Homo-oligomer: A and B are copies of this chain.
Amino acid sequence: MPELFLTLSPQDWQAIRLTLKLCLYTTLILLLLGTPLAWWLSLSQSKLRTAIQAIVALPLVLPPTVLGFYLLLLLGPHGAVGSTLQQLGLNHLAFSFSGILIGSVIYSLPFTVQPLLESFRRMGPRPLEVAATLGAGKLDQLFSVVLPLCRGGFIVAATLTFAHTMGEFGVILMLGGSIPGETQVLSVLIYDHAEAMNYAQAHQLSLGLLISAFVVLFIVYGLHRRFEREAPL
C-alpha cells in the first residue's frame, strides 16, 4: 500500500487535487441549487412542476460527450452564454475550470434533485406544521427540521453526486480539453493512461480512487447509520 502512492507523479497529484475540488464544488453548488429546487418541486402539484422535474433528468439521457459538445457550443465563443460573457469583457467558459464545473453541475443535477425531492415528499407536512406552531419561520424550518429529518436524502444526494462527478469524464473531456491543473481531472487522466496502455498507472490510480472512495463512503454511511440508530425516525 505505501508504495502505491509513492509512485504517483506530480501530474497525478495535481489531477487528484483538481478532482476533489471539482467534486466538492459540484456537490456544494448542487446542494445549494438542488435543495430549493427540490423543495419547490415537492410543494405543488402543477403540470409545470412535473415538466421541470422531467427536464431536470434529461441531461442524463444524452451520451456525455454529446452533451459535452452541446455545452461546448453553448459556452464557447459563438454560443449564447460564451458570447454574452465575451461581450462583458470576460472569457468564454470552454476549456476552463468554470466550464467543466457548469458541465458537471448540469450533468449531475438529477442525482441531487431526485433523492431530495423524494425525501421531502416523504417527510410529510406534519413536522413543518409543528415547527410553525412553535414559532419557526420558513428558513428556520429548513435548518431545524427539513435538513436533519431529510439527512438520509441529503446523504444519498451528496454521495451520488460526488461519486458521479468523480467518475464522469465524457462531458469534462469535451468541454475541458484535459488541461493539466485546470481541467485534467483524475477520470480523464486514468482514461488517458488506459488508452495509452499505461496499465500500471491506470490500475494504480483506479485502485487508489476506489480505496479512498470506499473509505469516504464507509465513514459517511457509517455515521449516518449511527445517527439513525440514536434517533430513529
Closest to A117 in B: B156
Interface pairs (13), CB distance under 8 Å: A50-B225, A58-B210, A58-B214, A61-B166, A61-B167, A61-B210, A63-B167, A114-B156, A115-B115, A117-B156, A118-B118, A121-B233, A124-B233
Q: How far is the CB of A26 from chain B (nearest CB, A)?
A: 13
Once the chains bind, are B54 and A166 in contact (CB under 8 Å)? no
The answer to whether the Cβ of A129 comes within 8 Å of any Cβ in the partner chain is no
User: Does B54 lie within 8 Å of A114, measured CB to CB?
Assistant: no
Task: Report chain B residues within 8 Å CB of A55.
Answer: 214
With contact pairs A60-B163, A63-B190 given, residues A156 and B115 touching in the complex (Cβ less than 8 Å): yes
Majority secondary structure of chain A interface residues (helix, strand, loop or mixed): helix
Cα A87 to Cα B55 with chains together (Å): 47
Could you say which interface size class chain A belongs to? Answer: 35 or more
CB distance from A129 to the nearest CB of B (A): 14
Q: Contact partner of A218 among B54, B59, B167, B187, CB < 8 A?
A: B54
CB distance from A204 to the nearest CB of B (A): 12
| A interface list, Cβ under 8 A from B | 45, 47, 50-51, 53-55, 57-67, 69-70, 110-111, 114-115, 117-119, 121-122, 124, 152-153, 156, 159-160, 163-164, 166-170, 187-188, 190-191, 194-195, 202, 206, 209-210, 213-214, 217-218, 221-222, 225, 228-229, 232-233
- Shortest Cβ gap from A39 to chain B (Å): 15
Residue of B nearest to A173 (CB): B63
Measured CB to CB, the nearest residue on chain B to A51 is B218
**What is the CA–CA distance of A163 and B67 in the complex, to the nearest angstrom?**
14
